[in-house]
Structure 1
Amino acid sequence: MKKITLVFLIVLSIIPKNMNSQNEGEAIAAIAGGLLAIGAGVAAVEQMKEQAELTATEWILSNQSDMESFSLKTLDFDGKKLKDISSASVMTFKIQEFEPSDKPKLTGKKQILFAFTSRGWISEYGIDFSKVQWHLIDSDEWMNMMIAYSKVASEKSNEDLIKETLKDGKIVNKGVKTKKGEDIPFYKLDGDMYLVSNYSPEMKIIYNEKSLGIFLKETRDLVQISRGSIIEIHDFFNGG
């Protein structure tokens, strides 16, 4: 009821005062329909977010039996439209353990849970989790991935120096910036150019100018993590 009232008030505030009754009725119907459609889209995104976080939590409970107190929050969905989410190829969840107490603080181990998606993972019925592949990493694994990513994305090849730069610096759109030592500038590539590193038996890491690509060998899916998400994950692991 509150939502209907809010829509009605918004419609009234938009309609010009000097409009005749027939045109006014048509305008109200059009605007109200648009607002209700927007509201439905927002509700669908929120429902998908809750569904994704619930399923991610269930995966942790089923596969990480030693994890007894933790926080789980998605990096995705907030402020995004349904079409943006449906075109995404990975969902990302921040996980951090804590000591049980009254109003506990998140001070424990940090991990990231990736949910790699395959074509058709979103339908009219919501998320099809049979088309989702889960992958949990800790800060050490993330550092290894970023070393491989930085090597393939730049002229740098010394892994020890790259690691120190990543530990002291921040990943930005054009590379890795650090207060100490040398920055690591990434190559400038066209959008259809890719550089590939055979990272592990499970995946290849791929660089292009806008994202971190991960090719999953088992499913042959190429998923892409946006530069913004890379920055946020790196900041999360490094105290940001």
Structure 2
Amino acid sequence: MKKLALAIIIMFLIMPKQSKAQNNGAALAAAVGGVAAIGAAIASVEQMKEQAELTATQWILSNNPELTSFSLKTLAFDGKKLKDISSVSVITYKIQEFTPKMTPSLDGKKHVLFGFTSHGWINEYGIDFEKVQWFLIDDAEWIRMMTAYVKVASEEKNESSLIETLKNGKIVNRGVKVDGKLAIPFFKLSGDMYVVTDYSSRLKLLYNERSLGVYLKETKDLVQIGRGDIIDIHQFFFN
């Protein structure tokens, strides 16, 4: 409601002054209609985020019964893709176990849950979760993924050295940084160049234009994970 109220105030402030009351009425009606549409869109996105978070929790309960006390929070919900219902994207959740007590703290094992979407995952009825593939990983799997990715994105092939650098650094657009210095520079590829590694039976990882691409073999979709999301996941595991 605060976002909607603020939008209405701004619309009144910037609405051009008209000399005729008739024009003022038309402008006012258009402004109110536009703000109402914006408010409805915001509410719709928030509702979809809550729906997706509930489904992610249900997936964990169905597929990982060993997780009996955990926190699940949305790390990234790629709202900018919602305007294209045919687009593919990825939703990520951070999960951490804890010991139940009067004042519990998140002190247990960490996981990240990926929800890779495919074409048509959003329609007029909301989210079609039949078009979402779920992947649950821990810090060890994340390091394996990032090691495979950096191997194809750079000249560094020494796995043990790579793992040590990744645990103490972070992945940025140009490579892997440690203490603010570029320790492993990435290849400078053009937009139509790709380097690919066959990571697993379900995934291929791609390096292109300083970005991480994930190719889903089952749906044949290519999803680009945002650089900011990669940094957030890495910090979550190795803060």
TM-score by length of 2: 0.89
Contact 1:41-1:82 at 8 Å conserved across structures:
no
- Partners of 2:160 and 2:109 lie apart in 1 by 24
| Aligned 8 A contact 2:78 2:89 in 1 | no
Paired residue secondary structure (1:44): helix
SS in 2 for 1:183: strand
- Matching residue of 1:32: 32
Amino acid at match of 1:94: K
Q: Which amino acid aligns with 2:125?
A: Y
After superposing the two structures, state which structure 1 stretch, 54-63 or 100-109, moved more.
100-109
Q: Does 1:203 align with 2:203?
A: yes
Matching residue's letter, 1:62? S
The amino acid of 2:56's aligned partner reads A
Q: Give distance in 2, aligned partners of 1:119 and 1:51.
A: 19
1:114 match: secondary structure: strand
Query: Cα distance, 1:80 vs. partner?
Result: 4.9
In structure 1, the partner of 2:156 is: 156
The 1-side partners of 2:57 and 2:203 are apart by 24
Q: Secondary structure at the match of 2:76?
A: coil
SS in 1 for 2:176: strand
Alpha-carbon distance in 1 for matches of 2:85, 2:228: 15
In structure 1, the residue matched to 2:230 is 230
2-side partners of 1:150 and 1:188: how far apart? 13
Aligned counterpart, 2:102: 102
Aligned to 2:172: 172
User: Does structure 1 conserve the Cα–Cα contact (< 8 Å) formed by 2:85 and 2:123?
Assistant: no
Match of 2:128 in 1: 128
1:86 Cα deviation from its structure 2 partner: 6.8
* CA drift at 1:223: 1.9
Corresponding position of 2:217: 217
Structure-1 residue corresponding to 2:52 = 52
- Between the two proteins, what is the percent identity of the paired residues? 64
Deviations 1:27-67 (A, max 9, x none): 10111111111111111110110010000000001111111
CA contact (8 A) 1:213 1:222 kept: yes
Whether the 8 Å CA contact 1:98–1:105 is kept in 2: the answer is: yes
Give the drift of 1:81. 7.1
Structure 2 distance, partners of 1:225, 1:169, is 19
**Unpaired segments of 5 or more residues in structure 1?**
none
The alpha carbon displacement at 1:4 in A equals 8.3
Structure 2: gaps (5+ residues): none
1:173/1:2 Cα in 2 relative to 1: closer, same or farther (>3 Å)? closer
8 Å Cα contact 1:191-1:210 kept in structure 2: no
Q: What does residue 113 of structure 1 align with? A: 113
SS at match of 2:73: strand
Cα displacement string for residues 116-156 of structure 1 (whole angstroms, at most 9, x for unaligned residues): 11111110111101111111100000000000000000011
Q: 1:167 to 1:2 in 2, by over 3 A?
A: closer
> Quick one: distance in 2 between partners of 1:175 and 1:154?
8
Distance of aligned partners of 1:167 and 1:10 in 2 relative to their CA distance in 1, 3 Å threshold = closer
Looking at structure 2, the residues matched to 31 and 152 of structure 1 have their Cα atoms a distance apart, in angstroms, of 51
How far residue 191 of structure 1 moved from its aligned partner, in angstroms, is: 2.2
Where does 1:69-108 land on structure 2 (aligned, <5 Å)? 69-77=69-77, 80=80, 82-83=82-83, 87-108=87-108
Q: Number of matched residues? A: 239
Q: Is the 8 A contact 1:42 1:81 kept in 2?
A: no
Structure 2 contact 175–182 (Cα < 8 Å) conserved: no
Is 1:65 the counterpart of 2:65 in the alignment? yes
1:217 CA drift (Å)? 2.0
